[in-house]
C-alpha cells in the first residue's frame, strides 16, 4: 500500500498532462488494486482518464468503464463517486460522437446525485452536461427540460456558487453586465473566474 501512495504523490509532482504524471498515476491505480483498495485505485484511474480525454480518449473510456463496477449504486457513500465516473465517461463518449451512450451516462450521473446531500453543485454540473449532449442530439425538448431543472437548482445554491454557474454559462454581453453589477457573492475569486471566462469566449469585453 505504501508504494501506491508514493506513486500517487509522485504523480502530483509533475505538471498535468506530463507523460510521467500519467504513468505514475496509472501505476498508483495498479498498486491500489493489488493492495485490495479499489476506491483509491478508482481515484487514480479517473485522474488518468481526465488527463487522457484529448490525447488518448479510447484508453480514458476503458479506465472509466473499468472502475464503474466497483461502485455499488445502492451504497449512498459511493453514489457520488459512481456519478463522477459516469460524468467523465459521458464527456469522453460525447467527444467520440457516441451521443446515445453519452446521454445515458450523463442521466445516470443525474439520477445518482439527485437527493444526495452535499452534492448539489455536482448535480447541477451533471444536468448541464446532459443538456449539452441532448442539444448535440438535436433533442431541444429534452435539452430545455434539463437546463430548466438545473437553473432551478442553481437558484437554491449559496450566492457565490450560483454566481459561478452564471459566469460559466454567460454570453460575453452577460459577462460584462455581471462585471458592472458586481452582484452578491462577488469577491476576488469571482473576478478571476470572470476574467478567465472573458478570455476564452469570443467578442469579450
Give the torsion through C-alpha atoms of 198, 199, 203, 205, to 10 deg.
50
Write the DSSP assignment of 86-148 as a string of letters. HHHHHHHHHHTT-HHHHHHHHHHHHHHHTT-TT-HHHHHHHHHHHHHHHHHTT-HHHHHHHHH
The CA distance from 89 to 98, in Å, is 11
User: What one-character DSSP code corresponds to residue 118?
Assistant: T
Q: Report the 10 Å Cβ neighbour count for 50.
A: 16
Percent of the chain with pLDDT over 90: 35
Q: Each residue of 127-157: pLDDT tens digit?
A: 999 999 999 999 999 999 999 999 899 888 8
Residue 86 C-alpha cell reads as 459516469
pTM to 2 decimal places: 0.77
Among 37, 36, 44, 35, smallest CA distance to 63 is for 44
Amino acid at each position: 500500500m505504501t508504494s501506491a501512495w508514493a506513486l500517487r504523490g509522485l504523480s502530483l509532482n509533475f505538471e498535468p498532462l506530463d507523460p510521467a504524471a500519467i504513468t505514475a498515476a496509472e501505476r498508483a491505480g495498479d498498486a491500489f488494486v493489488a493492495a485490495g483498495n479499489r476506491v483509491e485505485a478508482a481515484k487514480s484511474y479517473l485522474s488518468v482518464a481526465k488527463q487522457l480525454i484529448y490525447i488518448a480518449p479510447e484508453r480514458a473510456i476503458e479506465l472509466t468503464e473499468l472502475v464503474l463496477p466497483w461502485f455499488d449504486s445502492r451504497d449512498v457513500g459511493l453514489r457520488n463517486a459512481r456519478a463522477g465516473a459516469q460524468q467523465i465517461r459521458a464527456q469522453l463518449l460525447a467527444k467520440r460522437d457516441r451521443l446515445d451512450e453519452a446521454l445515458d451516462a450523463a442521466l445516470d450521473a443525474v439520477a445518482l446525485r439527485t437527493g444526495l446531500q452535499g452534492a448539489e453543485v455536482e448535480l447541477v454540473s451533471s444536468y448541464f452536461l446532459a443538456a449539452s449532449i441532448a442539444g448535440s442530439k438535436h433533442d431541444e425538448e429534452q435539452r430545455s427540460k434539463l437546463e430548466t431543472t438545473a437553473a432551478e437548482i442553481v437558484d437554491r445554491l449559496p450566492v457565490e456558487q450560483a454566481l459561478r454557474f452564471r459566469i460559466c454559462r454567460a454570453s460575453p454581453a452577460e459577462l460584462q453586465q455581471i462585471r458592472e453589477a458586481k452582484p452578491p457573492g462577488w469577491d476576488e475569486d469571482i473576478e478571476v473566474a470572470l476574467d478567465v471566462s472573458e478570455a476564452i469566449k469570443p467578442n469579450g469585453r
